[in-house]
């Protein structure tokens, strides 16, 4: 190429200006490609400059952006053949503007609106939908206030609680829409008139929640006697989870006055509540509708709850279906079996801490449990050997015949032990054959690839699996995972240096077409699937953004 040609090309490139036409979106490249970022091709370009242009366009690699899926374009109005010929040649833009959006069909069938709005999960989306029209506002409000929560791990929880109670106490009609209220945060630092005003607003709001069915209020030192009196007057309250710190804060005997209470969960009970617990259960058992169907006592590590209390409550728990006893270090097999015997084969869910001295590792002598579907056991190795952390069959629980069991959770507390295939086979052999398990979690019991393959091959109905592994290769090289389309939730725990990356999880989601939730350690992802330009289904992961609690945090225990 001679010098004159080079000068010609240089003059043409210098002639390119930003004001030669409308701006394009910036490519956000570094300054090496500043000319490429500002350049827009003219309507007609010479062949010599086109070569330079192609080189500039191909050189940089554009950044990856989140794919945006637009709303469907309006449908064009079909043209009639009887129209004049000149009207048949409308431009594309005119046809588009003259069309009708496919979304307009939604307004032609009002009965579809509730079905559409029930898939909205985020409160901010429901708030926007409430502005569409009066009918949408009525439906969206019902969804928005049906389940209300204040959680301490969310941003602005204090601001949210204050505004929520201010809104509810001013609008009793909104209180009537609340079916479930979950308060795990309360501004204890508030003092004087600020605290008094907030307490009054809470009491007024609760008193108008005539349709409230479930209440969670676990913030310690946030309940006062007047508030609990309002709660005990609610006619439809069936489920109550409450802090057990009652001394000088509330009278626990009011639990026994609740007309519809069926599910009672007490967090960290104190001696004052312990002294009234038997009386509460007895009072509830004397109602015409019967006693409690679910009882849960959760402690960190406490000796307050013992076999004597369980045996005293047992005669009043004949309708019991769910029993949870965590952190009660003085509870043994005698007290638990007494309650199970009085429950008359009704128990469907049992969750226990099976400490070595409790003798709950051996459940073979338990009363018959023909309807038990969920069994959760937290165990500890009786004689741990740090030099050889391998679990043997004698370290694991001995189970009775449980033909209805569909969910099994086994957690090893305060340690990590290797679970060999032979040991797991001995454990699973105690379950029903063929296996009916749909949900399995093995926390802190580390398994290898052979054990994982055995679990998947021998549990064809399994939908949720939570395991601990020793490295990425355990799941990446497992052939049994590749063709598995049954699992909906798959979560793994591993040491930090061997935890699967998000790319590893994406590759797994590509192979497992049934997954809609996957995670590693404390990371949880939603699985979204789309068709690419070639019609091939691709999996994309996004961090958990739903308002519901992920499955892993429902089975994991610290």
381 conformational bin, left if phi > 0, alpha if psi -120 to 50, beta if neither: beta
Mean pLDDT, rounded, for 78-84: 48
Sign of the alpha-carbon torsion through 24, 26, 31, 32: negative
Res 48: pLDDT: 41
Tokens 């009704």 map to which residue?
A: 346
Question: 104 pLDDT exceeds 70?
Answer: no
Q: Return the pLDDT at 75.
A: 59
Q: Which residue has the higher pLDDT, 254 or 496?
A: 254
Residue 296 has pLDDT above 90, yes or no: yes
Identify the H or E element spanning 493.
Answer: strand 489-493
Average pLDDT for residues 142-146, to the nearest whole number? 92
What per-residue confidence (pLDDT) applies to 544?
Answer: 87
Two structure tokens written together for 306: 């013992």
Does residue 64 have a pLDDT over 70?
A: no
Mean pLDDT value of segment 437-445? 95
Percent of the chain with pLDDT over 90: 57
pTM to 2 decimals?
0.79
Q: Of 88-92, 137-141, 260-264, 345-349, give the lowest mean pLDDT range.
A: 88-92
What's the sign of the alpha-carbon dihedral 233, 237, 239, 242?
negative
Tens digits of per-residue pLDDT, 482-522? Answer: 888 899 999 999 988 889 999 999 999 998 989 999 999 88
Exposure string over 46-81, b if 16+ CB within 10 A, otherwise e: eeebeebbeeeeeeeeeeeeeeeeeeeebeeeeeee
The residue written with tokens 């941003």 in the block is 155
pLDDT band at 95 (very low <50, low <70, confident <90, very high): very low
pLDDT confidence tier of residue 105, bands split at 50, 70 and 90:
low
pLDDT tens digits, one per residue of 169-200 = 999 999 999 999 999 999 988 888 999 999 99
- Confidence at residue 16, expressed as pLDDT on a 0 to 100 scale: 42
Indicate the range of 21-35, 178-192, 382-396, 445-459 predicted with least confidence. 21-35
Most confident of 151-155, 262-266, 550-554: 262-266
- Give the three-class secondary structure for 463: coil
Res 33 pLDDT > 60: no
Query: What is the pLDDT at residue 536?
Result: 76
Residues 6+ apart with CB under 8 A from 136: 113, 117, 129, 130
| Nearest of 425, 426, 376 to residue 405 by alpha carbon | 376
E strands, 111-211, where? 147-150, 180-183
Is pLDDT at 448 greater than 60 in this prediction?
yes
Q: Lowest-pLDDT range, 3-7, 272-276, 335-339, 389-393?
A: 3-7
Mean pLDDT of the chain: 83
Per the model's pLDDT, the better-predicted residue between 501 and 49 turns out to be 501
Instruction: Tell me the mean pLDDT in the region 379-394.
Output: 87
| Residue 3, pLDDT above cutoff 70 | no
């Amino acid at each position: 190429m001679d010098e004159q040609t080079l000068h010609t090309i240089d003059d043409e490139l210098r002639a390119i200006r930003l004001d030669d036409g409308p701006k394009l979106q910036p490519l956000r490249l570094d300054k090496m490609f500043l000319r490429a970022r500002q350049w827009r091709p003219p309507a007609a370009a010479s062949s010599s400059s086109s070569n330079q242009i192609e080189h500039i366009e191909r050189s940089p690699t554009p950044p990856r952006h989140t794919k945006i899926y637009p709303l469907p374009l309006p449908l064009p109005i079909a043209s009639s053949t009887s129209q004049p010929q000149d009207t048949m040649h409308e431009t594309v833009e005119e046809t588009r503007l003259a069309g009708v959006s496919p979304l307009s069909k939604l307004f032609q069938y009002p009965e579809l609106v509730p079905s559409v709005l029930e898939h909205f999960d985020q409160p901010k989306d429901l708030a926007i939908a409430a502005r569409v029209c009066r009918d949408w506002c009525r439906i969206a409000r019902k969804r928005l206030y049906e389940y209300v929560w204040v959680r301490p791990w969310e941003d602005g929880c204090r601001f949210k609680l204050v505004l929520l109670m201010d809104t509810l106490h001013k609008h009793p009609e909104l209180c009537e829409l609340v079916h479930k209220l979950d308060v795990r945060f309360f501004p204890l630092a508030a003092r004087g008139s600020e605290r008094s005003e907030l307490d009054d607003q809470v009491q007024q709001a609760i008193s108008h929640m005539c349709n409230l069915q479930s209440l969670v209020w676990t913030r310690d030192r946030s309940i006062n006697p007047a508030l609990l009196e309002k709660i005990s007057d609610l006619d439809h309250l069936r489920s109550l989870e409450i802090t057990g710190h009652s001394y000088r804060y509330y009278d626990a005997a009011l639990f026994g006055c609740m007309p519809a209470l069926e599910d009672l969960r007490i967090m960290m009970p104190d001696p004052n509540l312990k002294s009234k617990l038997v009386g509460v259960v007895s009072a509830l058992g004397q109602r015409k509708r019967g006693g409690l169907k679910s009882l849960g006592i959760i402690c960190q590590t406490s000796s307050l709850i013992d076999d004597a209390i369980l045996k005293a409550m047992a005669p009043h728990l004949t309708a019991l279906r769910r029993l949870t006893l965590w952190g009660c270090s003085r509870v043994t097999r005698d007290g638990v079996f007494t309650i199970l015997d009085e429950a008359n084969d009704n128990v469907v869910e049992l969750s226990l801490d099976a400490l070595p001295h409790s003798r709950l590792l051996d459940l073979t002598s338990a009363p018959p449990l023909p309807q038990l579907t969920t069994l959760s056991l937290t165990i500890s190795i009786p004689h741990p050997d740090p030099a050889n952390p391998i679990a043997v069959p004698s370290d694991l629980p001995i189970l009775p015949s449980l033909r209805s069991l569909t969910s099994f959770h086994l957690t090893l507390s305060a340690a990590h032990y290797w679970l060999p295939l032979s040991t797991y086979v001995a454990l699973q052999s105690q379950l029903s054959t063929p296996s009916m398990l749909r949900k399995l979690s093995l926390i802190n019991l580390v398994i290898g690839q052979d054990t994982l393959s055995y679990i998947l091959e021998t549990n064809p109905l399994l939908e949720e699996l939570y395991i601990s592994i020793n490295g990425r290769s355990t799941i990446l090289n497992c052939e049994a995972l590749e063709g598995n389309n049954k699992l909906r939730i798959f979560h793994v725990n591993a040491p930090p240096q061997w935890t699967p990356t998000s790319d590893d999880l994406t590759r797994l989601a590509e192979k497992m077409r049934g997954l809609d939730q996957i995670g590693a350690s404390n990371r949880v992802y939603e699985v979204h699937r789309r068709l690419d330009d070639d019609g091939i289904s691709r999996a994309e992961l996004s961090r958990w953004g739903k308002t519901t609690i992920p499955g892993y945090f429902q089975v994991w225990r610290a």
